[in-house]
Each structure stands twice: as C-alpha cells, then as structure tokens.
C-alpha cells in the first residue's frame, strides 16, 4: 500500500498543487487502493496487485492536459506547503497525547523521588545505609523522569511541520472538530481532577503544622505534598497537551484558497521573532545596563523591560502586516 502512495506522490511531485489537482490526487489514490484491495481479495500477491494497479492506472499527463495543468520545470517552483490527511492528523494527536502522558509521568517521577525521600526522612529519621538507600531510590526516579523529558523532547522536535500553515480539507476539519468536541468532557474532568489534587496536596503540610506531632513531621508533610502535586500535574500535562494538539491543527490548517497568503504571514512572523530574539532583546538588555550605570538608576531602569515587552507585539505586527 505504501508503494502506491509513494508512486502517487512521485507523480504529483512536479504538479502545481491547487484545489483541483489535490482532488485529482485524492481520487486517484482512493481508486488505486480500492483496486489493490480487490486484487488482494482475489488471491493476487502484493507485487502482482501493485503491478496491475500501476499498469491500469493510465497516463496522468493526459488528464492534466485536459485540465489545462502542466508540470513545473523545477521542484523549487512549487509552493512549499503540505496537505494533511486524517492519517497525518491522527499521528500528530497520538504523538502529542503520548508526549503529554510521558512528560506528566516524568514530572510525577521526579516529585515522587524527592517526596518519598522527604517523607521517609521526616517519618523515620533515616540515617546511615537506609538514608543512602532512600537517596539512591530518589535519584533513580529523578533520572527516569529526566530521561522521559529528553525522549519526548526529541520526538516532538520531529513535528515542527505541523506548526506552520498546511492545507486542511473541509471533511478533515470537520473530523477534527468532532473529535475535539468528544474529548472536551474528558479534558474538563482532567482539569478538575488536577486542580483538586493540587489543592488537596497542601493538606498534609497544613496537617503536620497544625498537629505539631512527632509522629507526623512537617518534612513528611512536604514529601506527601510533592507526591500529590505530581499526580495533579500529570492530569494537567496529559490533557493539556492533547487538547493543544487539536488547537494547533485547527489553527494551522488552512483552505487551499488562502494557503499562499497564510504561508507568507507565517514567514514574516518567523522573521520578526528572529529579529526580536537575536537583536531587539539584546539591545534592551544592553540599554538597561548602560542607563543603570550612567544615571545610577537601578531602582527605575527595570521599567525598560516593561516598555520593551509592550513594544514587542507592536514590532511583530509591523513585520506581519508588511506587504511582501
């Protein structure tokens, strides 16, 4: 099946992507896959089915000529945008959901390692070998959490193409909106559960302070608070990450008619952000130190950062609204 997809992608590699050619590409792929599956059900091998499908496919150039569309002489002349289908959208949702779960587990692991050490130290006043064993256990959990952060960070770095405008067809947009609506109840429950756990996490600390009992020390209360807070953060991070995936896809998914302008706006935003990060803020920092030394105004020169933050959005809008 992937061979057929690769074949279609190769054929349309030098074809200017428009609403018509996108529909033609989608229809051809669907027809070829249906034919492939029918041949497989009749007992044909994979190679035989692929060969027959490609042989019966016909000459795409003739269809393009009938539509008045020619091939581009160079791949550089083609618009640099992608078309995301349901399979691509589902893949991004899966990656973000898994990343949210693992990052949340990483935070829980780190807080559990720290919290368990404080809890044991506060309750049992560990010394010697037991203390070192508890410290080793905490280090292992923290290392596990950091490892999860690194793995998921690397995985998410491969999804940058979802964070710029891409073509999203109406049926796929409707599919996304329906699934987001279905997830809304779970998202609300996770937020409520996370908030509840984070609020309740203070109760062991308050209880230890109020009781002032040697059986339940303040240090043990802090340890229990860290573990409960970690559980609450897990709910926040997982549900927030998955919900954010819908937001990213729906905000970056554009109709074919506006994709060129949307890409130009995105490029101008990137250029503005680069200038702000590499030039604008370093100048602000340098100006802060110069003004502070020259006028000895350490008590008020920090306001330059407030003004700089307010002007940042104005500068970005100037670049974004600038005509290409």
Predicted local distance difference test score (pLDDT) of residue 66: 63
Predicted local distance difference test score (pLDDT) of residue 7: 73
User: Cα(287)–Cα(311) distance, rounded to whole angstroms?
Assistant: 15
Q: Which residues contact 193 (CB under 8 A, 6 or more apart)?
A: 232, 235
Torsion angle of C-alpha atoms 145, 149, 150, 154, degrees rounded to 10 = 150
What angle in degrees, to the nearest 10, is found between the helix axes of 86-124 and 128-156? 170
End-to-end CA distance of the chain: 41
Does pTM top 0.85 for this prediction? no
**3-state DSSP assignment of residue 158:** helix
In whole angstroms, how far apart are CA 30 and each of 27, 46, 103, 160? 5, 17, 38, 28
Q: Which two tokens stand for residue 52?
A: 């027959």
- Residue 157 exposure: Cα atoms within 13 Å on the Cβ side: 6
What stretches of the chain show up as alpha helix (H) in DSSP?
2-11, 19-41, 46-57, 60-66, 86-124, 128-156, 170-200, 203-211, 218-252, 259-275, 281-295, 303-320
In whole angstroms, how far apart are CA 256 and each of 18, 235, 238? 7, 37, 32
Q: What phi and psi values does residue 134 have, to the nearest 5 degrees?
A: -65, -40
User: Cα(35)–Cα(301) distance, rounded to whole angstroms?
Assistant: 72
Q: Of 67, 31, 36, 70, which Cα lies nearest the Cα of 51?
A: 36
- Answer for the pair 116, 137: CB distance below 8 angstroms, yes or no: yes
Task: Please report, in tens digits, the pLDDT of each residue of the chain (324 residues total).
Answer: 667 777 777 677 666 666 677 777 778 888 888 888 888 888 888 777 877 777 776 566 666 666 665 555 444 444 456 778 888 899 999 999 999 999 999 999 999 999 988 888 777 766 777 777 878 889 999 999 999 999 999 988 888 888 888 888 888 899 999 999 999 999 999 999 999 999 999 998 888 888 777 667 788 888 899 999 999 999 999 999 999 999 999 999 988 777 777 878 888 888 888 888 888 889 999 998 998 888 887 888 889 988 988 888 887 777 766 544
248: left (phi over 0), alpha (psi -120 to 50) or beta: alpha
- Answer for the pair 14, 72: CB distance below 8 angstroms, yes or no: yes
Which residue in this structure is represented by tokens 């110069």?
290
- Answer for the pair 249, 176: CB distance below 8 angstroms, yes or no: yes
Q: Which two tokens stand for residue 193?
A: 């559960």
User: Cα(286)–Cα(184) distance, rounded to whole angstroms?
Assistant: 46
User: Cα(74)–Cα(295) distance, rounded to whole angstroms?
Assistant: 59
Q: Which residues contact 239 (CB under 8 A, 6 or more apart)?
A: 100, 186, 187, 190, 191, 194
Predicted local distance difference test score (pLDDT) of residue 75: 43
Predicted local distance difference test score (pLDDT) of residue 56: 72
User: Cα(197)–Cα(7) distance, rounded to whole angstroms?
Assistant: 52
């Amino acid at each position: 099946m992937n061979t057929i997809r690769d074949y279609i992608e190769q054929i349309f590699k030098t074809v200017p992507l428009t609403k018509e050619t996108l529909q033609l590409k989608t229809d051809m792929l669907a027809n070829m896959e249906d034919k492939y599956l029918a041949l497989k059900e009749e007992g044909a091998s994979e190679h035989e089915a692929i060969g027959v499908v490609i042989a019966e496919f016909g000459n795409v150039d003739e269809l393009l000529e009938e539509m008045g569309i020619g091939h581009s002489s160079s791949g550089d002349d083609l618009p640099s945008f992608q078309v995301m289908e349901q399979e691509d959208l589902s893949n991004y949702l899966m990656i973000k959901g898994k990343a949210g779960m693992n990052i949340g587990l990483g935070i829980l692991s780190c807080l559990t390692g720290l919290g368990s050490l404080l809890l044991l130290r506060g309750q049992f006043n560990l010394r010697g070998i037991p203390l070192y064993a508890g410290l080793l256990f905490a280090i292992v959990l923290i290392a596990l959490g950091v490892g999860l952060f690194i793995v998921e960070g690397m995985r998410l770095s491969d999804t940058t193409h979802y964070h710029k405008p891409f073509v999203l067809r109406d049926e796929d947009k409707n599919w996304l909106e329906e699934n987001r609506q279905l997830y809304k109840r779970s998202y609300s429950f996770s937020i409520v559960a996370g908030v509840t756990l984070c609020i309740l996490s203070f109760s062991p600390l308050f209880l230890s302070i109020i009781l002032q009992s040697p059986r339940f020390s303040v240090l043990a209360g802090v340890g229990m608070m860290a573990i409960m807070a970690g559980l609450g953060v897990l709910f926040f991070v997982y549900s927030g990450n998955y919900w954010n995936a819908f937001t990213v896809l729906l905000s970056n998914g554009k109709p074919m008619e506006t994709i060129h302008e949307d890409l130009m706006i995105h490029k101008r935003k990137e250029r503005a952000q680069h200038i702000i990060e590499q030039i604008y803020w370093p100048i602000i920092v340098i100006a802060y130190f110069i003004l502070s030394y020259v006028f000895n105004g350490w008590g008020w020169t920090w306001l330059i950062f407030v003004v700089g933050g307010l002007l940042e959005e104005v500068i970005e809008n100037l670049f974004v609204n600038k005509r290409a």
